[in-house]
C-alpha cells in the first residue's frame, strides 16, 4: 500500500510541472492543416470560442467550393484539431440552405446567461443580393443547431460579418452594410439571439472582414477593402468605446496582408503572458477548397499594433509564450 502511494506521488510530481508548463507546438503557415483523423481541415473564415482551455473553431467547409457547410473542430493547442462534425449542413439544417441561401463567415458565441451556443453568419443568395444574416442556437457546442432568425438586421443590408463578446458578456455582431459601404455594429440581446440596436462605423469606407479584439481596455478593429477573393491592404483602427471614437483607418502589415484576409484575433491568456494571434484566410490558394488558414503573432503597445508575420513559430498554449525563429 505504502509503495503504491509513493509511486503515485512520484508520478504526480513528475507530471505536474510538465503540464503546468505546457508543451510547445509548431504552427506552420502555408500548408493545409490535417485534423486528428488525418483529414484536411475545412474551416474557412473561422470563428473561435475558448472554454475551459478548449478552443472550438467553426468555419466554412469549402470542399464543395460554393456550397459551404459549417464544420466544427476542437483543440487545446491550436495545432491538433479534432473534427466534431458538421454543425450546419446544406439540405439538412434549414430548407433554404443550399437552395436560395449559402452561409459565409460562421462565428461561434456562448451565452453565459442562457448556457446556449449561438452561431451568427452571413446568409446570402448566390449573387450576394440578399445581403442577410442568420442566427442559429444549440444546447451543446456540437449541436444540433436550429435556425432562430434570418434576414437583414434592423432592415439593414448586411454582408461580411464577425462577432465580439466584451468583458462584461455583451455580444456584438459587426457586418459590412448597405452594399459594402459601411460597417454596422449591432448590439445583441442578452440571449444573443437577436439584434437590438445599430451604430454605423467607418461610413463610406467600404471595409469588410472585420475582426475586433480588446486589449487593456482599448478596442482594436482590423478590416480589409472589398476586392472579392483577392487580398488587399489590412487596416486598423482603435477606440476606447465600441460605438464611437474610432481613429482613422491606418495601414498595417504589407500591402496584401501577407495574402490573407482577417478572420479573428485570438487572445491566449497564458500562465506567463497574454499573447494575441492574427488568424486570416489565404483564399484561392489556388482554389477555394485549398484556401489556407494563416496564423501569426500580433503585438500591442499602447495604441500601437504590429503584425509579426512568419512562416512558422512555436507556441506554448499553456504559458502563452511564443518564439519566432530567426
Ligand atoms: C470577400 C469576403 O470576405 C468573403 O467572405 C467572400 O464573401 C468573398 N468576398 C466573396 O467574393
In this prediction the pTM is 0.94
Structural domain includes residue 129: yes
Structural domain includes residue 206: yes
Q: What is the percentage of the chain residues whose pLDDT exceeds 90?
A: 93
- Give the integer Cα–Cα distance in Å for 27 and 24: 10
Structure confidence at residue 4 as a pLDDT band (50, 70, 90): low
Structural domain includes residue 85: yes
- Give the integer Cα–Cα distance in Å for 73 and 108: 12
- Give the integer Cα–Cα distance in Å for 139 and 60: 21
Average pLDDT, the chain: 95
Q: How many residues in the chain?
A: 326
Across the range 308-324, mean pLDDT stands at 98
**Is residue 146's pLDDT more than 80?**
yes
Q: What is the pLDDT, as a whole number, of residue 22?
A: 85
**Is residue 33's pLDDT more than 60?**
yes
Measure 42 CA to ligand 1 centroid, in angstroms. Answer: 16
Q: What is the pLDDT, as a whole number, of residue 2?
A: 63
Confirm or reject: Cβ of 209 under 6 Å from ligand 1. Answer: yes
Q: Which of 192, 186, 17 is nearest to 113 (CA)?
A: 192
**Is residue 13's pLDDT more than 90?**
no
Q: What is the pLDDT, as a whole number, of residue 8?
A: 58
Q: What is the CATH number of the domain that holds 244?
A: 2.115.10.20
Confirm or reject: Cβ of 150 under 6 Å from ligand 1. Answer: no
pLDDT in tens, 192-242: 999 999 999 999 999 999 999 999 999 999 999 999 999 999 999 999 999
Ligand 1 pocket test: pick from 161, 209, 224, 263 the residue with the most ligand atoms within 8 Å of its Cβ.
209
Q: Which of 243, 180, 215 is nearest to 301 (CA)?
A: 215
**Is residue 15's pLDDT more than 60?**
no
Domain range for 230: 35-323
**Is residue 66's pLDDT more than 60?**
yes
For residues 279, 285, 290, 292, the Cα torsion angle rounded to the nearest 10 degrees is: -10
Structural domain includes residue 16: no
**Is residue 9's pLDDT more than 90?**
no
Q: Which of 281, 30, 305 is nearest to 162 (CA)?
A: 281
Structural domain includes residue 5: no
Q: What is the pLDDT, as a whole number, of residue 21?
A: 81
Structure confidence at residue 91 as a pLDDT band (50, 70, 90): very high
The number of distinct structural domains making up the chain is 1
Q: In the chain, which ranges are continuous DSSP H helix?
A: 2-21
- Give the integer Cα–Cα distance in Å for 108 and 1: 49
Measure 40 CA to ligand 1 centroid, in angstroms. Answer: 21
Q: What residue's CA is closest to ligand 1, atom 3?
A: 209
Amino acid at each position: 500500500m505504502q509503495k503504491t502511494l509513493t509511486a503515485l506521488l512520484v508520478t504526480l510530481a513528475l507530471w505536474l510541472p510538465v503540464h503546468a508548463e505546457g508543451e510547445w507546438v509548431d504552427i506552420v503557415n502555408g500548408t493545409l492543416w490535417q485534423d486528428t483523423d488525418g483529414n484536411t481541415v475545412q474551416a474557412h473564415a473561422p470563428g473561435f470560442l475558448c472554454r475551459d482551455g478548449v478552443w472550438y473553431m467553426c468555419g466554412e467547409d469549402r470542399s464543395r467550393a460554393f456550397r459551404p457547410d459549417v464544420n466544427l473542430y476542437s483543440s487545446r493547442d491550436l495545432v491538433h484539431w479534432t473534427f466534431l462534425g458538421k454543425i450546419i449542413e446544406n439540405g439538412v439544417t434549414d430548407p433554404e440552405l443550399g437552395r436560395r441561401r449559402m452561409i459565409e463567415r460562421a462565428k461561434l458565441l456562448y451565452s453565459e446567461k442562457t448556457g446556449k451556443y449561438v452561431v451568427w453568419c452571413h446568409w446570402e443568395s448566390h449573387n450576394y443580393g440578399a445581403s442577410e444574416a442568420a442566427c442559429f442556437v444549440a444546447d451543446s457546442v456540437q449541436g444540433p443547431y436550429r435556425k432562430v432568425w434570418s434576414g437583414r438586421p434592423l432592415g439593414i443590408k448586411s454582408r461580411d460579418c464577425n462577432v465580439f463578446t466584451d468583458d462584461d458578456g455583451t455580444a456584438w455582431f459587426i457586418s459590412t452594410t448597405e452594399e459594402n459601404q459601411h460597417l454596422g455594429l449591432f448590439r445583441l440581446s442578452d440571449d444573443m439571439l437577436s439584434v437590438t440596436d445599430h451604430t454605423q462605423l467607418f461610413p463610406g469606407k467600404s471595409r469588410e472582414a472585420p475582426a475586433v479584439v480588446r486589449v487593456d481596455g482599448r478596442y482594436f478593429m482590423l478590416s480589409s477593402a472589398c476586392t472579392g477573393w483577392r487580398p488587399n491592404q489590412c487596416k486598423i483602427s482603435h477606440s476606447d468605446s465600441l460605438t464611437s471614437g474610432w481613429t482613422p483607418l491606418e495601414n498595417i502589415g504589407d500591402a496584401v496582408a501577407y495574402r490573407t484576409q482577417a478572420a479573428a484575433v485570438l487572445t491566449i491568456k497564458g500562465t506567463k503572458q497574454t499573447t494575441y494571434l492574427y488568424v486570416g484566410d489565404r483564399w484561392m490558394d489556388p482554389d477555394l477548397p485549398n484556401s489556407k488558414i494563416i496564423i501569426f503573432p500580433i503585438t500591442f503597445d499602447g495604441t500601437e499594433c504590429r503584425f509579426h508575420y512568419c512562416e512558422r513559430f512555436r507556441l506554448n498554449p499553456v504559458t502563452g509564450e511564443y518564439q519566432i525563429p530567426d
